[in-house]
Structure 1
Amino acid sequence: MSAENAAVNFSELVNKNKQTLARLKETPRLLLRRRDGEDLVLTTAERAEQDRTVVSAATRMLVAMARHEPGSMELLLDILPDAFPWVRFLPDSDVHAFAVELVDTMRAGESIANSSVVAQMLIAWQHTAEAHADPDVRAALIKDHDEDYGPVPEPG
């Protein structure tokens, strides 16, 4: 959470709900810390809709630029290491594949108002970069495997 967001224990919302909710006038979001579960974020419906509008607009602009502007894919490939430093560990062909998948997934996720698909895709690509960054894992990935181990049995 950024400095502009406040954090409170979930019990404060339960025990002092008016005072806790009044804090939403001072901050866009409240982080509700929970002892027995995942923390929650509380915001107003208006703020959530504003956030969605901004993300949607940025996504549509990026997709339109990437699909229609000459040289935009080269620009996207140039700026990816600034936005995602871990792409430096990916082979060049994977960086291009990542850029294409990022634009396509952002477009698809925006069309169904589901940003979690983009988050999951980013996590998967980051893990791929981590594998390439580890010399032992990378060696195993690029090693020629001439031996066929046959069909994989059904899980038990």
Structure 2
Amino acid sequence: MAKTLPMSRFIQNYNQHLTEAERTDDVLVLQQRAGRPAWVLETEDRARTTAEATEYVATVLATIAHDETLIARFAAALVQAQPWVAFLPERDRETFATEAADTLRACASIGKYTAFADLVHDWRNTAEVWSDAELAESLAGDVSEPLNQPV
């Protein structure tokens, strides 16, 4: 469970807060002022356990995504979890499912998830284009006068 408190209150009584968090296995979310980012404080054991679980799930998803008999069902399940995936053409749903699983697995191996977030963001933008039939049609059509001149 997460316990949120102001950073200043944590600093004033950090030992008390740390002792309580150790006892309850809580994660501390330390809020800062002036729009500065919050900090999340947890025990090393808890962080390691989360990392191991994430790596396991990512490996399982990557295995499913590379199984020709399961990929279509996996892509269909993604529509339930992430409704925007429904706007992607069926072939792109499977490509997204495979790329997302592979990227998540790679990210889990190094403990940094920026590449995964970027991939999902890019695919979501692609789904947004497909959701507008006119826009998708205009982008899919041939270009009558290609721009092969530098601008």
Verify: 1:9 aligned to 2:14, yes or no.
Answer: no
How far 1:76 moved relative to its partner?
A: 0.9
- Structure 1 pair 32–136 and aligned structure 2 pair: CA distance change class (3 A): farther
Gaps of 5+ in 1: none
Moved more, 81-90 or 112-121: 112-121
Distance of 1:47 and 1:151 partners within structure 2: 56
Cα contact 2:5–2:28 (8 A) shared by 1: yes
Sequence identity percentage: 27
Q: Does 1:112 align with 2:134?
A: no
Deviation at 1:147, TM superposition (A): 1.7
- For structure 2, the residue ranges without an aligned partner over 5 or more in a row are none
Matched residue, 1:43: 42
Count of aligned positions: 149
- Partner residue of 2:58? 59
- SS of residue matched to 1:59: helix
SS at match of 1:94: helix
- More deviation, 137-146/53-62: 137-146
> Structure 1 residues 23, 130: closer, same or farther in 2, change over 3 A?
farther
- Paired with 1:137 and 1:33, the residues of 2 have a C-alpha distance of 42
Contact 1:6 / 1:27 at 8 angstroms: preserved in 2? Answer: no
| 2:72–2:94 contact (8 Å) kept in structure 1 | no
- Provide TM-score, normalisation by structure 2: 0.83
What's the Cα RMSD here?
A: 2.2
**Equivalent in the alignment of 1:128:** 126
Tell me how far apart the structure 2 counterparts of residues 70 and 132 of structure 1 sit (CA, whole Å).
25
Following TM superposition, by how much is the alpha carbon of 1:136 offset from its aligned partner in structure 2, in angstroms? 5.6
Deviates more, 1:5-14 or 1:15-24: 15-24
Q: TM-score, normalised by structure 1?
A: 0.81
Higher relative contact order (CA 8 A, sep 6+): 2
Report if aligned partners of 1:5, 1:31 keep a CA contact under 8 Å in 2. yes
How far is 1:62 from its partner?
Answer: 1.8
* Inter-partner Cα distance in structure 2 for 1:58 and 1:26: 26
